[in-house]
Structure 1
Amino acid sequence: MKKNYRIISTLAMTTMLTGTLAGCGGATAATEAMTAAESPQASYGDYSTEACEEPIMAAPKSAGSSLFDSFAATESACETGYYYDDDYCIVVPEYYNTESYDKPDENGFFLSQGQPLSTFAADVDTASYANVRRMIEDGYGQSGIPMESVRPEEFINYFSYDLKSPKRGEKFGVTTEVSRCPWNEDHELMFVGVKAEDKLDGQLPESNLVFLIDVSGSMDDEDKLGLLKKAFIELVDNLEGEGTVSIVTYASHEKVVLDGADFSDKRKIKSAIKSLEAGGATAGERGMEMAYDIAKENFIDGGNNRIIMATDGDLNVGISDPDELEKFITEKKDQGIYLSVLGFGAGNYKDDKMERLADCGNGNYSYIDSFTEARKVLVEEMTSTLVTVAKDVKFQIEFNPAVVNSYRLIGYENREMDAVDFNNDQKDGGELGSGHTVVALYEIVPSDSKNAIELKYQNAEYSDASDDYATIKIRYKEPEEDKSNLLTYVVGSEVFRENASENLRFAGLVSEFAMLLSDSDYSGSVTYKDIIKGYKELDNTDDYKDEFISLVRMVEKRS
């Protein structure tokens, strides 16, 4: 609850600052603020509108309420525009919102007979889930969450699943399952889980890490630079083995704060992090170039060379051509220097920019909304986040039309590829870190379903493998190689389970939540109450999954 008061105070201050700039002749700053508020991307349901113009306390029960009865004792007393939390009605903050998101149209169904191949790049990003969690915890319901901010695959891949580990000498372990689709009884759900080898046993290889930190004025908030500093200090405290840390900051000017400090010199590294202060515009391009220069100077042959960029994504100065910046990052990736991106903050968060940068840099994209999330990404999942064991990972699933009439990939809209690019080693895929897992779900229409589409003129003769659901092909490259390797796995009829596993059931619940939040055309009659009921039937949960269902309950109460 305190978090909301902090946000409200910050927003109110932002509003006053805008007015002050306009009154003092700061026409440029005032115009920029007005332009941001009027831009098309500034309106996402309730998660936008205008800035707060006065301090906001708890919601009164009625217009005539006194100060002492303005705190609602029951949830039913909360009026529209407020949400209930710990015996209080708290206003949903409204402020200038220039957050930007980009997601293609939702995947539809494809006939297996006409288009049997589904091809996409691996994606282990989790930013979408953490970002939407931030919105929900700030008081927003379904109508206030930008539909474009919801990427189902990042919701699904946020969580851990019980997947097969690779056998000795193998790169991946593959887990497959088919069962009834929870939101459409006439369809089935196919679960594909891939787990990368973990040969590091939780330890980093010799590493050259460069922290590229945005210290522009837009980062001057406790949930931005304040949280960022705590996150990096936690990472440094847990760095072991051999390696160096460098720090480059950028705002109106770029600066090398630290160059090649040894992992063991933790006091020096943490002191440099603590000294960071925000101010100025955001000239990200030159800062990026300097970070890569430092990474090149400290390059470790055969080691882990990675830039970790931390920003709210508001690259508003110095980027004349975003495509050129992405080309630059791609070229550096090909030289063995990878880029991971950590997103912070709210209000002017540029999700679309940061996702593209991480994709170009062979890195992960995570959103840090709390210290708990920082620890999850940078400590608990350190080797997965920071060490690539397979690059340019692509998946191609060939469906058997004798068993699968049609199919729909849930999510991955911005990672889909043309079928011909699967065998093209010049086309980038995704990256998997040590021990990383990636899960994909397909909603399928069985050939004997009443929803199956019958074709009159197509050849009804199929291969001898008439009982197989599909064949999975995986292409990947070793981190220092340019030629891909091909692996093949069959999804046979034996993987069907009348009673779905906990893996599939939980992934299905997460998919339902993402579909409801994004107003999916394919969610059927599922409700938030159905998700809550389904979760109660699970046997194996953890703190992250329990948090998930608490978010579902919050949204259900506000819908």
Structure 2
Amino acid sequence: MKNIIVVGLLLISGILYGQKKVSGTVIDENDGSPLPGVSVTVKNGIHQVITDLEGKYEVDVTPEDVLVFSFIGYETKEVQVGTNSVINVAMLAGGAELEEVVVVGYSSRKMGVAKRISGVFKRKNSAPAYDSQPIEFNTEGYNTIEENVFKDAIKNPLSTFSIDVDAASYSNVRRFLNNGQMPPKDAVRIEEMINYFDYDYSEPAKEDPFSINAEVSSAPWNQKHKLVHIGLQGKNIPVEDLPAVNLVFLVDVSGSMSDANKLPLLKSSFRMLTQQLRPQDRVAIVVYAGAAGVVLPSTSGDHKGKILKALNGLQSGGSTAGGEGIKLAYKVAKENFIEDGNNRVILATDGDFNVGESSDAQMQRLIEEKRDDGIFLTALGFGMGNYKDSKMETLADKGNGNYAYIDNILEAKKVLVSEFGGTLFTIAKDVKIQVEFNPAKVKAYRLIGYENRLLNDEDFNDDKKDAGELGAGHTVTALYEIIPFGVDSKFSPIDDLKYQKIEISQEAEGSDELLTVKLRYKDSRGSESKLIEKPLKDTSIKWADTSENFRWSAAIASFGMLLRQSEYVDDMNYQDVLELAQSAEGKDEQGYRAEFIHLLKSCMLMARN
């Protein structure tokens, strides 16, 4: 009876105040394409939504309300609701030509409620506006990246690295650009930006867990050079055929997690993941702040209500004992270990550990100790201002795991729903790539990205050396820029040696192979590696005949190099990248490539090419 009365009162309230839902689509006025990520706000109200990948939105309003549509790089629009139930809006680019956007820092109110305390937002012909609060510094942390240089193919014929399926850098870069800021150089990991997107590679044959795909053409930023595209496709496994999972949600509930884009977004993300669970799957929830504790013992996936209730009850407050939380989460995972299943800790945090074991070295040793128990790690990053990307990357790299940055609910859906299998189910571990270049064809080469994943050549055959993991259905893409033999280039690495001469073998001279790709991997529960080899012939494809895979990866690599102000991309600008990306957008069923093109247009307004 009480529930009926409450529902009746809500209905009467809606009628009295004229509350209703308004929906619509926001598009670019110039080309008619949908605009994802547009903020739709009720003026002088509390309701705010963001358009999805198709530019669609839905919001609660009254006839008297005014909707405000705003997006970086576009003119803001205001629309009176009135009697409309559908409001479609076309936005014009160029209205917000930002000259400078700087976010200075973040601080915390009492009880851990974070707030932005200072910023400079400067438009042309306007004075800077300052908040009244004192300035504090942004404390986000990133590992230093030293860009790979060209190596002589005779003196250094082998290039060895660990695969990287993480995509955190792209969504983090997107967060900066959507906030009107150019990202820090060290936040731009080009391989993660490339691997954010899906590619149309051939499926694996026979029993191999992945296929090798390769293609070569000219480099778009230097026509004298060649670009080699190497792609791996992980075997797709239907969700119903995947092994049972034993998950431990390890949730940071410290005071720094109270912002809307931290714990509230985290809870929404895990609610979506919970809906994907099957009866054979199990979930426990461990939290940490000043101390660590279990708030939900391991629970079957057919008790979703119990899991959701525990998630909804999470609140933030206190300091951050990250090390204790990780130890407890691995302990719970081991106690509920599923043989022949997928056992995984999912760490969700801003990475700001400040109590107990918090240094990168300490956390690395802790994770390395735990990975031998057959328990994988997924690291999910949230928030801004105090975000510790360096710690999150270290944890994922050393914990047999993967790393994603969740900047909005659509990214959470991508990682935890659309890519459920790839994120949570490992089909191959310790995957290493070693490329041997034919010095009769290749004068010098450089690997684009993967700076933090480089291995010694001898590590390739050493099964004790840790490397990256590949999930079900995941793709991995790597690019090499090559200076062909006989081509003069200002990037040629070193002079000829004076006291010794290295000759090219007759076999290399007579070969039509440009290079050979070798891969080593272990089964997800195995300890001995397996080897796959694939030679690539020196049959360069004309640029116009290259695949969409090739052109798209080249566009993203170019974009990353421009953001990093790389010396190797001086013959290309953002307009060139835009044209290249538009030529390779393809089917784009999920809309991620279209989103990148809009992001690139926003970036162009800030870059002043």
Instruction: Bin the TM-score by the shorter chain.
Output: 0.7 to 0.9
Counterpart Cα distance in 2 of 1:551 and 1:461: 49
Query: Does residue 1:220 correspond to 2:265, yes or no?
Result: no
Instruction: Quote how far apart the aligned CAs of 1:479 are.
Output: 1.3
Counterpart Cα distance in 1 of 2:162 and 2:353: 26
Counterpart Cα distance in 2 of 1:426 and 1:267: 43
Query: Does residue 1:158 correspond to 2:158, yes or no?
Result: no
Report the equivalent of 1:490: 535
Counterpart residue type for residue 536 of structure 1 = Q
Matches within 5 A, 1:256-275: 256-275=294-313
Instruction: Quote how far apart the aligned CAs of 1:433 are.
Output: 0.6
Counterpart Cα distance in 2 of 1:54 and 1:293: 37
Counterpart Cα distance in 1 of 2:428 and 2:395: 19
Counterpart residue type for residue 108 of structure 1 = V
Counterpart Cα distance in 2 of 1:260 and 1:104: 40
From the superposition, tell whether residues 79 and 177 of structure 1 become closer, same or farther in structure 2 (CA, over 3 Å): farther
Instruction: Give a deviation string over 1:98-146, Cα, whole Å, max 9, x none.
Output: 00001331000001111010000010000011001001001113xxx21
SS in 1 for 2:261: helix
SS in 1 for 2:104: coil
Match of 1:49 among 72, 91, 104: 104
Instruction: Quote how far apart the aligned CAs of 1:188 are.
Output: 0.8
Counterpart residue type for residue 519 of structure 2 = I
Counterpart residue type for residue 461 of structure 1 = S
From the superposition, tell whether residues 58 and 319 of structure 1 become closer, same or farther in structure 2 (CA, over 3 Å): closer
Counterpart Cα distance in 2 of 1:81 and 1:106: 35
Report the equivalent of 1:69: none
Matches within 5 A, 1:515-554: 515-538=561-584, 540-542=586-588, 543-554=591-602
Counterpart Cα distance in 2 of 1:387 and 1:272: 24
Instruction: Quote how far apart the aligned CAs of 1:46 are.
Output: 6.0
SS in 1 for 2:222: coil
SS in 2 for 1:273: helix
Counterpart residue type for residue 446 of structure 1 = P
SS in 1 for 2:159: strand
Counterpart Cα distance in 2 of 1:155 and 1:58: 28
Contact 2:585 2:594 in 1 (8 A): no
Counterpart residue type for residue 104 of structure 2 = T
Looking at both structures, which has the greater relative contact order when contacts are Cα pairs under 8 Å and sequence separation is at least 6? 1
Match of 2:502 among 458, 465, 471: 458
Say which one has the larger Rg.
Answer: 2
Match of 2:273 among 227, 230, 235: 235
From the superposition, tell whether residues 523 and 81 of structure 1 become closer, same or farther in structure 2 (CA, over 3 Å): farther
Contact 2:120 2:128 in 1 (8 A): no
Counterpart Cα distance in 2 of 1:98 and 1:170: 44
Counterpart residue type for residue 139 of structure 2 = T
Report the equivalent of 1:67: none
Counterpart Cα distance in 1 of 2:555 and 2:229: 13
Counterpart residue type for residue 148 of structure 1 = D
Report the equivalent of 1:342: 380
Instruction: Quote how far apart the aligned CAs of 1:318 are.
Output: 1.1
SS in 1 for 2:269: helix
Contact 1:319 1:325 in 2 (8 A): yes
Contact 2:248 2:332 in 1 (8 A): yes
Matches within 5 A, 1:410-449: 410-449=448-487
Counterpart Cα distance in 2 of 1:207 and 1:367: 22
Matches within 5 A, 1:55-134: 79=126, 96-134=137-175
Instruction: Quote how far apart the aligned CAs of 1:51 are.
Output: 6.0
SS in 1 for 2:347: strand
Higher helix share: 1
Report the equivalent of 1:65: none
Counterpart Cα distance in 2 of 1:50 and 1:278: 21
Instruction: Quote how far apart the aligned CAs of 1:325 are.
Output: 2.8
From the superposition, tell whether residues 78 and 442 of structure 1 become closer, same or farther in structure 2 (CA, over 3 Å): farther
Q: Which consecutive residues of structure 2, in runs of 5 or more, have no partner in the other structure?
A: 1-37, 47-99, 108-114
Counterpart residue type for residue 569 of structure 2 = S
SS in 2 for 1:369: coil
SS in 1 for 2:348: strand
SS in 2 for 1:364: strand
Instruction: Quote how far apart the aligned CAs of 1:97 are.
Output: 0.6
Instruction: Quote how far apart the aligned CAs of 1:316 are.
Output: 0.9
Contact 2:439 2:504 in 1 (8 A): no
Q: Equivalent pairs: percent with the same residue?
A: 44
Contact 1:117 1:396 in 2 (8 A): yes
SS in 2 for 1:291: helix
Cα RMSD of the aligned pairs, angstroms, is: 2.7
Report the equivalent of 1:378: 416
Instruction: Quote how far apart the aligned CAs of 1:463 are.
Output: 2.1
Instruction: Quote how far apart the aligned CAs of 1:3 are.
Output: 9.4
Report the equivalent of 2:517: 472
Counterpart Cα distance in 1 of 2:474 and 2:547: 21
Counterpart Cα distance in 1 of 2:600 and 2:547: 21
Report the equivalent of 1:510: 556
Contact 1:180 1:500 in 2 (8 A): no
Match of 1:298 among 326, 336, 356: 336
SS in 2 for 1:230: helix
SS in 2 for 1:426: coil
Counterpart Cα distance in 2 of 1:58 and 1:208: 47
SS in 1 for 2:401: coil
Counterpart residue type for residue 487 of structure 1 = I
Higher strand share: 2
Contact 1:4 1:138 in 2 (8 A): no
